[in-house]
């Protein structure tokens, strides 16, 4: 277990601001605080006027390197985006205390020349590739992964990393328990050689998802190589990048179906998709159980209502039958009573008739 020993009372404690100034003051160059000539491509900034100056960008003509260009208000109307300019500048340092950063600034002093930047063959191919990707469209990685997760099928992911890189550990650390839903494979490639990158892309094409991941650093210009971009456009796999660079967006990143700033963000993406899918699956199961329960309750209530209706009908029919039987018995009783009275009268009449006959017979 690591322990921390308090600093002796005599040891000086630096504040963040003091550290920045101490380190910044130790950084020196013959060019600092000097006027000299530069050449590069002018890129306008956000267009905010800070006390008579604008913070723009001077980009290297052949690479993605760039530096902040402080453009005086009097010179800015003479410049346009993409111009190749030559000018005299003044180099200075600026401390960003809130961000813990030391920036180098070129203050534009005088324009020597400017001309529209000539678009070379590589830039023409780049523009054509971007148009081709726009027409072809971007594969929907989110929907594909979600569907596989819902179907409980593994997602095959191949990640191309540098030969000595450790970004695979960063990715695994972020994916965490979601690792069970993916089948990750890592290919070691020399990411400074376009031919090897192209070969690796072609070799591993066929995975569900194919990714180039790099942890940052220099030589980002290699990912602007049109030949690599052309290979990426031909891939059957869903293609992603995680190139570890926030300043510029290389061509390969623009051609990817999905791009991430760092390998760490890539790992977080896979974990978040898995977590959301699990929540949705659990929610769907709960809804299904609720729907089935409701259907069973409705079916039971319908059957109970039907039985009550039939019982009521049977009871009503029984009452009506009993009433009809009672009426028939009453009618029969009345008819029987009338028949008995008639029989008595007939018997009396016969008795009288018999008496009369006897009288008549005796007289004779």
Question: What residue spans define the domains of the chain?
Answer: 32-116, 121-277
Could you name the CATH architecture of 32-116?
A: Beta Barrel (2.40)
Q: What angle do CA 135, 140, 142 make, to 5 degrees?
A: 160
Instruction: Say what the pLDDT of residue 144 is.
Output: 94
Smallest CA-to-CA distance from 242 within 224, 273, 265, 222 is with 265
pLDDT of residue 76: 93
What is the structure's pLDDT at 89?
93
Contacts of 164 by beta carbon, 8 Å cutoff, 6+ apart: none
Please list, residue by residue across 241-270, b when 16 or more beta carbons sit within 10 angstroms of its beta carbon and e when fewer do. Answer: bbbbbeebbbbbbbbbbbbbbbbbebbbbb
Strand-pair category, 35-43 with 238-242: unpaired
- Cα–Cα distance for residue pair 246/197, rounded to 1 Å: 21
Edge-first strand listing for the sheet containing 258-260: 182-189, 155-162, 209-213, 238-242, 258-260
pLDDT at 12: 66
- Give the residues of the chain that fall short of pLDDT 50: 1-4, 6-8, 10
Q: Torsion over CA of 144, 149, 150 and 154, rounded to 10 degrees?
A: 100
**CATH superfamily of the domain spanning 121-277:** Response regulator (3.40.50.2300)
Residue count of the chain: 364
- Residues in a beta bridge with 226: none
In this prediction, residue 292 carries a pLDDT of 63
């Amino acid at each position: 277990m690591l322990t921390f020993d308090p600093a002796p009372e005599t040891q000086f404690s630096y504040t963040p601001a003091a550290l920045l100034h101490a380190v910044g003051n130790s950084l020196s160059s013959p060019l600092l605080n000097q006027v000299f000539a530069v050449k590069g491509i002018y890129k306008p900034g956000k267009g905010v006027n800070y006390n008579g100056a604008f913070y723009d960008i001077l980009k290297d003509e052949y690479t993605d390197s760039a530096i902040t260009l402080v453009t005086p208000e009097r010179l800015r109307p003479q410049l346009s985006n993409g111009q190749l300019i030559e000018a005299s500048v003044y180099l200075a340092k600026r401390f960003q205390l809130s961000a813990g950063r030391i920036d180098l600034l070129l203050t534009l002093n005088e324009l020597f020349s400017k001309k529209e930047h000539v678009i070379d063959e590589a830039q023409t191919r780049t523009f054509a590739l971007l148009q081709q990707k726009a027409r072809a469209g971007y594969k929907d990685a989110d929907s594909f992964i979600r569907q596989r997760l819902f179907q409980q099928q593994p997602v095959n992911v191949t990640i191309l990393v540098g030969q000595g890189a450790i970004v695979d550990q960063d990715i695994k650390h972020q994916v965490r328990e979601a690792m069970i839903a993916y089948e990750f494979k890592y290919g070691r490639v020399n990411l400074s050689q376009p031919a090897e990158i192209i070969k690796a892309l072609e070799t591993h094409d066929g995975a569900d998802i194919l990714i180039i991941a790099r942890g940052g650093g220099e030589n980002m210009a290699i990912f602007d190589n049109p030949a690599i971009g052309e290979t990426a456009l031909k891939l059957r796999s869903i293609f992603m990048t995680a190139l570890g660079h926030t300043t510029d967006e290389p061509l390969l990143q623009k051609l990817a179906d999905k791009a991430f700033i760092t390998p760490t963000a890539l790992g977080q993406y896979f974990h978040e998709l898995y977590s959301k899918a699990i929540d949705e699956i659990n929610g769907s199961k709960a809804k299904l159980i609720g729907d089935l329960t409701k259907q069973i309750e409705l079916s039971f209530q319908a059957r109970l209502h039907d039985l009550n209706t039939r019982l009521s009908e049977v009871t009503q029919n029984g009452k009506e039958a009993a009433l009809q039987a009672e009426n028939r018995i009453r009618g029969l009783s009345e008819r029987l009573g009338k028949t008995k009275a008639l029989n008595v009268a007939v018997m009396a009449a016969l008795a009288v008739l018999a008496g009369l006959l006897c009288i008549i017979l005796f007289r004779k």
